[in-house]
Amino acid sequence: MLARLARIPVWVWVGFNVALLGWLALTSLKPSREIFDNPFSLPTGVEAANYDSAWTVSELGQGFINSLFIVAIASVAVVALAAPAAYMLTRSTTWTASPLTTFFAVGMGIPLQAVIIPIFVMTTQISSFANDTFGWWDDRISLTIVYIAMSLPFTVFLLTGFFRTLPEDLEEAAALDGATGLRTFVRIMLPLAQPGLITALILNIVSLWNETLLALILITDNEQYTLPQALLGLYQTMQYTSNWGGLFAGVVIVVVPILAIYLWLGRRIIEGLTVGSGK
C-alpha cells in the first residue's frame, strides 16, 4: 500500500512534464499573437513558418549541425578512450590501479566553474599557437577536446563497474588459446561490455547535447555556435522581433532529438546500469 502511495507523486510529476511538452509542441504551431491571446488553447492553424524561421533565419540549422558533429565525435572518442582505460584499471594487479581509479572518481567531483578560467586560458593558447604555426584554427576543435577531457572521469568510473562484472575465466581461456591481451580485449571483452558501452555513450550524448557554459565561453563565431547557443541567441532576438512562435519552435528543435534518442534507447540505459551494479 505504501509503495502504491509513493508512486502517486511520481506519476503526477510525469504527467506534468508530458503535458508541458505537449503544450510546448502545440504552442510552436501558433502565430505569435495567438500565443498571447489564447496561450492554452489549441492552435487554429498550423504555423509551419515558425520552424522555418527558427531553422534558417535564427541559424538553428547551423547550430544543429555543429552540435551534431561535436557531440558525436566527442561521445565516441570518450568511450573509445575510456573503455581500454577502465579495462586496464579493473584487471591490473599493480599498486597504482586503485589510486588511479580513485583519481578518476575525484575528477567527477570537480565543478566546471572551478576550472573554467584555466580551460579558457589553455584553449586560447592552443588557438594562438595553431594560428601562428598553421595559419588556421577552429574553436569547435577546442570545444570538442574540452568535452572529451571533461567527460573522461565519469565514463572511466562508470565502465570500471561493467568490466568488473565480466568473468576472468574467459580471459584465461583466451590466453591458453594463444590470444594476445589486445585481441582478448577487442574480440571478447568489448562485445561482452556492450551494454555498458552503449549506456556510457548515451549518457555522454545527453550531457554534451545540452551543454551551454563551455560553448558560450569558447565559441564566439556565430557560424560555429552550438544548438544551445543558437537557441539562446534566438531568445535574445525575440525582444526585438517578437517572434515567439519561432522561439517555441526552436525549443522543440533542441528538445525533441535528445528525447527521441532517450525513448529509443532508454531501456538499454536501464539494462546497462543494472548489469554494472552486479559487483
- pLDDT digit string (tens) for 238-258? 767 777 888 888 888 888 888
Q: Cell numbers 568473468 correspond to what residue?
A: 167
Query: What pLDDT, on a 0 to 100 scale, did the predictor assign at position 139?
Result: 92
Residue 163, in any domain of the structure: yes
Q: How far apart are CA 31 and CA 104, in angstroms?
A: 50
Q: Taking the CA of residue 110 as centre, how many other CA atoms within 13 Å lie in the half-sphere pointing to its CB?
A: 15
Other beta carbons within 10 Å of 209: 21
Half-sphere exposure of 240 (CA within 13 A, CB side): 5
Q: What is the DSSP letter of 210?
A: T
Do the domain assignments include residue 167?
yes
Amino acid 268: pLDDT: 65
> Can you give the pLDDT at residue 66?
94
Question: Helix 244-276 vs helix 139-165: angle between axes, to the nearest 10 degrees?
Answer: 30
Answer whether residue 192 is part of any domain. yes
The C-alpha atoms of residue 53 and residue 38 are separated, in whole angstroms, by 22
CATH number at residue 210: 1.10.3720.10
Are the C-beta atoms of 196 and 166 separated by less than 8 Å? no
Question: Does some domain include residue 37?
Answer: no
For residue 254, which of 269, 234, 273 has the smallest C-alpha distance? 234
Place of cell 508530458: 18
Write out residues in the chain with pLDDT < 50, as ranges: 276-279
Residue 108 lies in a domain: yes
Could you tell me the sign of the dihedral formed by the alpha carbons of 131, 133, 136, 141, in that order?
Answer: negative
Residues 165 and 162: their CA atoms lie apart, in Å, by 5
Count up the domains in the chain and report the number.
Answer: 1
Residue 15 maps to a domain: no
What is the spatial distance between Cα 22 and Cα 266, in angstroms, rounded to a whole number? 20
* Residue 41 domain-assigned (yes or no): no
For the chain, the C-alpha Rg in angstroms (whole number) is 23
Q: Which three cell numbers stand for residue 277?
A: 551494479
**pLDDT tens across 70-79, in order?**
999 999 999 9
Domain that holds residue 76: 48-276
Task: Give pLDDT, residue 260.
Answer: 82
Residue 29, domain member (yes or no): no
Distance of alpha carbon 154 from alpha carbon 274, whole angstroms: 17
